[in-house]
Structure 1
Amino acid sequence: MSYLKIRKEIQSGNIKPVYFMYGTQTFLMEDLLFQIVKHTVGAQDDPNVITYSLQDTLLDLAVEEAETFPFFGGKKVVIVKDFSLVSTQKPDTKLEHDVQRLQQYIEQPSPEAIFILLAPYEKLDERKKITKALKQKTTLVECFPFDDRMLSEWLDDQASAKGFRFTSEGKDHLLERVGPQLLLLASEMEKLALYVGQEGQVDGKVVDLLVARSLEQDVFALIEFAVKQRLDKALSIYHDLLKQKEEPLKLLALIARQLRIYYQVKEMSRRSYSQKQIAMQLKLHPYVVKLASQQMNKFDDQRLLQLLEAAADTDYAIKSGKMEKVLAVELLLMRLASVHEN
């Protein structure tokens, strides 16, 4: 089941006895943990919230804790982090865990405990019996990067919880500035909520006022201005980044990366790949592919190849000592601006 559906269930008081969460988005796991604790025992520092890590604790102890009646009655929350027993990765521990004990527990979990297993891994070892048992007998939560629809729904849900709402433009501006990074988005939304207050509205102007662009977004804008012959704007962004102590070679690498993404997305789109398929093949977030898809038609293939060649020439000139790095990137921006649009 998806994170969003599980979160709504928890908030409505429908809390299951055993949760198995896996995936690369640990922010989502932490948020669900917070919601479960909030709606069962109330606070993270409650003595009925017990956390273990399989790196230094036997699984038996966590299961035994879940089977033990909680202090002062009520419910207890038992959390097992670093649950590597289902991962394809080799566990970083010499402890011998009794997996059979866990399998017996999930068949008949304690009614007084909420037992939560956290596996922050991209892939599960589907050959293992414990993996199959957990997927069949527990509430499975997949914690992976959101697609566009889920990201939009998550933003609306977070805004509603904080007492404000987004306009369509406001949501787009926030994603353009911050990208799909949930932790950063949550932080920025705290600022937006304080600024507009209860029942407030966040539009594009509010976002532009309060939310700084990410480095990737600055580079994206820098390229856009350069290829549109707005060299003054491109150089202004570049020198602002230098004042922020950004390394010219790092900026050059990001420029080249962005140009490669344009070329790859353009080529794969021509072969009728969907944005989702492109994101999977290139191992990019779907939102990055979406932005590239909106911009790629501004470049023909020859132009993109010229820009990539210019970036490679600049990198060589810097690393071979032929050019000073700050000046070299400036000259690259000038070359980008000199490659005329069709």
Structure 2
Amino acid sequence: MNLIQVIYGTNAIRIEEKAGQLAKEYLDEVDEFSLVSLNYRETSVESIIEEAQTLPFLSDRKAIILNDAFLLTGAKVKSDVEHNMDLFLDYIKNKNDDTLLIFKVFNEQLDKRKKITKLILKEGAVTEVKEMTEPEIKDFIRSQVEDEGMGIDEQALGMFLERTGISYGNVRSELGKLLLYADGRITESDVAEVVSVSMEQNIFQLTEHVLNGRKEAAVHLVRQLILQKNEPIQLLHLIISQFRLLYQVKLLANEGFAQDYIAKHLKVHPYRVKLALREARKHRQDKLEEKMVMCRNMDYKFKSSYLDRETLFELFILEI
């Protein structure tokens, strides 16, 4: 295994899992002496190198996970310490210890113009952790279910994703609850009983209710979200964002662009675009524009009115 490993992407949970997997593969046994976790924001280069060159206690091998390694990105980040990059460059170039050094980078891309990035790309191994596609997340769910000696109905799998969305963190968390609850084979009834609806999916459902004139269902959902301690202004901004996505997707689809291109162009997960396309096709472009204007006007009212925001928001849902 290459002793310099870089893992980067925007999915923090999957990056954490990949780092743990690499460390476990390299070390005979993982313990507090053989695996050290450091934060680059708080740890000087001198301390990182010293730790890497210090022999582990009661172990033949050592691994260091360097969290938040923003040195490989173009991000301007305030650090608690001064970093001696020349010293780090020299260490990487002449690394002669047996310590596995894992850089965790929470960014969608590396800055390949930097000397340190160029050197590490040359000397080390780089893994990009991407967001899972819909087929990949479905395969992950099936695999986890099978590992528990269980099964899942396709209808239940579809309903599960409708509630969680495609977020890996949501999926993993809700799947854990479901596996503990279900007995043998997971059904739609199990999903309905246990799996929480994510905020993203709630907002998507709310905009669906609004666009299709289901005012009673929309108000009921709004009241539920407010009972869950969500602020009306926050909900309004999420609705504005969803209407904007529907409008943009409608516009690009009318121009003849495919789903994958739209997702890449808007920098939105393809699953969200798939759902947005499904809904946007039902409505005229001018109707979506009208809803966006109403949202903008309500945003102004929120900022200028002294009326109770919960009441104001509920009235808005009835009007829109």
TM-score by length of 2: 0.85
Query: What is the alpha-carbon distance in structure 2 between the residues aligned to residue 248 and residue 68 of structure 1?
Result: 54
Query: What is the alpha-carbon distance in structure 2 between the residues aligned to residue 293 and residue 213 of structure 1?
Result: 20
Query: How far has the Cα of 1:162 moved from its partner?
Result: 4.3
Query: How far has the Cα of 1:240 moved from its partner?
Result: 2.0
- Residue number among 77, 102, 105 corresponding to 1:119 in the alignment: 105
Q: Which moved more, 1:166-175 or 1:295-304?
A: 166-175
Query: How far has the Cα of 1:147 moved from its partner?
Result: 2.8
1:31 is matched with which residue? 17
Query: What is the alpha-carbon distance in structure 2 between the residues aligned to residue 117 and residue 253 of structure 1?
Result: 35
Q: Which moved more, 1:167-176 or 1:257-266?
A: 167-176
For 1:94, the aligned partner's letter is E
- For residues 20 and 157 of structure 1, do their structure 2 counterparts lie closer, same or farther at Cα, with a shift above 3 Å needed? farther
For 2:286, the aligned partner's letter is Q
Uncovered stretches (5+) of structure 1, i.e. residues with no partner: 1-14, 337-342
Query: How far has the Cα of 1:221 moved from its partner?
Result: 1.9
- For residues 127 and 228 of structure 1, do their structure 2 counterparts lie closer, same or farther at Cα, with a shift above 3 Å needed? closer
1:339 is matched with which residue? none
Query: How far has the Cα of 1:101 moved from its partner?
Result: 1.2
1:9 is matched with which residue? none
**Equivalent residues in 2 for 1:181-220, closer than 5 Å:** 181-197=167-183, 200-220=184-204
For 1:56, the aligned partner's letter is E
- For residues 298 and 109 of structure 1, do their structure 2 counterparts lie closer, same or farther at Cα, with a shift above 3 Å needed? farther
Query: How far has the Cα of 1:153 moved from its partner?
Result: 3.3
Query: How far has the Cα of 1:165 moved from its partner?
Result: 4.0
- Residue number among 136, 142, 159 corresponding to 1:150 in the alignment: 136
- Residue number among 102, 108, 131 corresponding to 2:92 in the alignment: 102
For 1:164, the aligned partner's letter is M
2:45 is matched with which residue? 59
2:259 is matched with which residue? 275
- For residues 157 and 16 of structure 1, do their structure 2 counterparts lie closer, same or farther at Cα, with a shift above 3 Å needed? farther
1:11 is matched with which residue? none
- For residues 72 and 322 of structure 1, do their structure 2 counterparts lie closer, same or farther at Cα, with a shift above 3 Å needed? closer
Query: What is the alpha-carbon distance in structure 1 between the residues aligned to residue 22 and residue 150 of structure 2?
Result: 24
Q: Size of the alignment, in residue pairs?
A: 315
- For residues 253 and 95 of structure 1, do their structure 2 counterparts lie closer, same or farther at Cα, with a shift above 3 Å needed? closer
- For residues 125 and 335 of structure 1, do their structure 2 counterparts lie closer, same or farther at Cα, with a shift above 3 Å needed? same
Secondary structure of 1:124's partner? Answer: coil
Query: What is the alpha-carbon distance in structure 1 between the residues aligned to residue 127 and residue 4 of structure 2?
Result: 11
Query: How far has the Cα of 1:296 moved from its partner?
Result: 0.9
Query: How far has the Cα of 1:194 moved from its partner?
Result: 0.8
Uncovered stretches (5+) of structure 2, i.e. residues with no partner: none
List per-residue Cα deviations over 1:122-164 (Å, max 9, x = no partner): 3322123332332243221112322333333333344344443
2:62 is matched with which residue? 76
The alignment's C-alpha RMSD in Å is: 2.7
Query: What is the alpha-carbon distance in structure 1 between the residues aligned to residue 114 and residue 203 of structure 2?
Result: 45
List per-residue Cα deviations over 1:98-133 (Å, max 9, x = no partner): 11211222xx662xx432122222332212333233
Query: Are 2:279 and 1:289 equivalent residues in the alignment?
Result: no
- For residues 79 and 240 of structure 1, do their structure 2 counterparts lie closer, same or farther at Cα, with a shift above 3 Å needed? closer
- Residue number among 199, 209, 216 corresponding to 1:225 in the alignment: 209
Query: Is residue 21–residue 141 contact of structure 1 (8 Å, CA) maintained in 2?
Result: yes
2:246 is matched with which residue? 262
For 1:227, the aligned partner's letter is L
1:249 is matched with which residue? 233
